[in-house]
Chain A
């Protein structure tokens, strides 16, 4: 077998990539005359050493888990869904409609209904590109990204002309009623003596995201549908030969993907803003692509990668708050991580693979007695 061990593939490669990204980021920070050590300390302290910091890290991570899973599921069927942004926007719209126009007695019921509505709206937004790809061969990358713009235009129209309360300046809906307020980590884990997660937006949706991870794992590796999705992804001709209908699989995989992206709406719209705003997704749909790439399309990997990106977002906020490192450079640091873990993956993987194989050959040679 000429492959490196699984642990090296799953752990060592991302770790080395991260290290390289960190070194390059340190050089960038050094170049603008700030101290990289101090910057790193600020990021870690701000994101991981305070419970409120964790509250933000996990809030961002929740968004990225949903969009990362969405990309991962589609990718198993070899579909590149870059419409997570638009699907999440529509999901948020679904959440807002449920929360605003139905009087809920308790948040738990509202959460269930909002989840269903968010998933439905997200899935429907993915349906047309999926159908076009499956039956007409219109490339899913083109159609999903075009649907992102349509979603933005639709949301803008609705918020400015229909859903905005009269006389309000901001294009946003009214605040949701108090009854649909989701318990935040602060509500759940704080006691009177020790306030935890103060003011941070992490909420019960994080556990929904964990459930979604479990669901995706079971779906892909433990069900017949998951097997069919993977078979389709590996080879469409072979899948068709085995009696799998590609049209059906493409549409179903995209519906699930869209539903997962749509679920992000419950975190950002119901959990954080508690009203629908124009910019509710703020790029999480695209970060999901990086998260899925880094997480190797496995739910556990997606979870870990999402937390890493949550850390980068929250740490970046701390840098912006307390240093003079400009916002653009914080984006550069985040981009370096994406570049190294996603795009330049092979740069680390191939030398590492060669090193492992060489080591193995040496071992086997030593094990065999000299002729």
Chain B
């Protein structure tokens, strides 16, 4: 309750000094929940780091229903919290509905896109997941001995197809004849948190010859990584650095620096610059993880090839097709 009191105190103070930059930031997690070991948790970690470094406080809410999206935005904006940071593409439309009513509040949508012309107080942060996935796809193809690699996605939505498509292009760039087995875990939100099914899919892919599997499936990926370790093949983690989970088996992780995005937004506070930010390889928004847990798995030659591809993507010499831009993929059919 002390937080509640300090909050109403802060709101009252804000009302008195109208417009002064005293505001606390707010963070709204998508329906997956705060501690999902992946996307939302990365956002929480970024906010936590900001709070520790600055001694500031932030409010957060885990959504329980669709109708709460607009509600949480409005209530936080009315309480004077600024900026209001949100995770997940589903927040884009609610933000577009709410933002015009609170012109003094800055809204941030991570993964969502809100038209910056119509809504000058919104910052849309997008990640080039296809570029990061391309790099881990290359690693997968180089590490594979069977010439068959796997992909396990969470729910079958465009965002996950974007991961799969980038990955497939990376694999084909190294080995044009490689076979890619792609499976989605399910069609309900339960697919984000079903490690048992993830494990079964991994086993099925292994029996078809896959010896590297990339899991872009939230909590379901934990099962994929576990099975890969048990069966003695390689796996690739996602969003956060998951190399430490099974050292020697997790080949690398496709990093998506949601934590950095949240940290930067909260650090900027009410003076946040709005518009559209695309965080790709050049901005270090996405990448592949290299640390002591996978140092032995990635040879110097592999690293050199991936680094070269990375710089060529940044320079624009290689273009990786973004599934969501075209709704189709050159290297993989869904």
Contact = CB atoms under 8 A, between A and B. Distances in A.
| B interface bracket (residues with beta carbon within 8 Å of A) | 35 or more
A218 to B, nearest CB: 31
B157 A327 contact: no
Interface stretch (B57-65, B248-256, B284-292, B306-314): B57-65
B190 to A, nearest CB: 9
Nearest to A59: B67
A201 B98 CA distance: 13
A171 B62 contact: no
Nearest to A273: B66
A199 interface: yes
Contact of B67 (A172, A175, A272, A330): A272
B158 A171 contact: yes
A279 B189 contact: yes
Contacts of A278: 157, 189
B12 to A, nearest CB: 14
A169 interface: yes
A331 to B, nearest CB: 8
Most chain A beta-carbon neighbours within 10 Å: one of B34, B158, B324? B158
Nearest to B35: A326
Interface stretch (B47-55, B86-94, B168-176, B263-271): B86-94
B122 to A, nearest CB: 15
Given A152-B187, A327-B62, A164 B158 contact: yes
B16 interface: no
| A interface bracket (residues with beta carbon within 8 Å of B) | 35 or more
Interface in B63-89: 63-68, 70-72, 74-76, 89
A320 B187 contact: no
A326 B188 CA distance: 23
Most chain B beta-carbon neighbours within 10 Å: one of A321, A323, A331? A321
Given A199-B70, A280-B66, A169 B1 contact: no
Contacts of B20: none
A64 interface: no
A320 B64 contact: yes
B158 A279 contact: no
Interface in B113-161: 113, 155-159
Given A170-B92, A175-B93, A279 B61 contact: no
B93 A330 contact: no
A320 B61 contact: yes
B24 interface: no
A326 B7 CA distance: 18
A164 B324 CA distance: 11
Interface in A146-179: 149, 152-153, 155-157, 160, 164, 166-172, 175
A138 interface: no
Contacts of B64: 313, 316-317, 320, 327, 330-331
A321 B72 contact: yes
A275 B33 CA distance: 24
B31 interface: yes
A211 B245 CA distance: 56
Given A152-B188, A282-B66, A327 B33 contact: yes
A166 B1 CA distance: 46
A175 B90 CA distance: 13
Q: What are the 10 closest A-B residue pairs judged by CB atoms, nearest first?
A: A156-B187, A327-B62, A169-B89, A153-B187, A152-B188, A170-B89, A320-B61, A171-B157, A199-B74, A317-B68
9 contacts: A42-B4, A156-B156, A170-B89, A277-B66, A279-B189, A317-B68, A322-B7, A323-B1, A324-B3
Given A317-B71, A320-B68, 13 more contacts: A34-B1, A56-B71, A59-B67, A152-B188, A160-B156, A169-B159, A169-B324, A170-B90, A170-B157, A199-B71, A280-B66, A320-B62, A322-B7
Interface of B: 1, 3-4, 7, 31, 33-34, 59, 61-68, 70-72, 74-76, 89-90, 92-93, 98, 101, 111-113, 155-159, 187-189, 324-325, 327
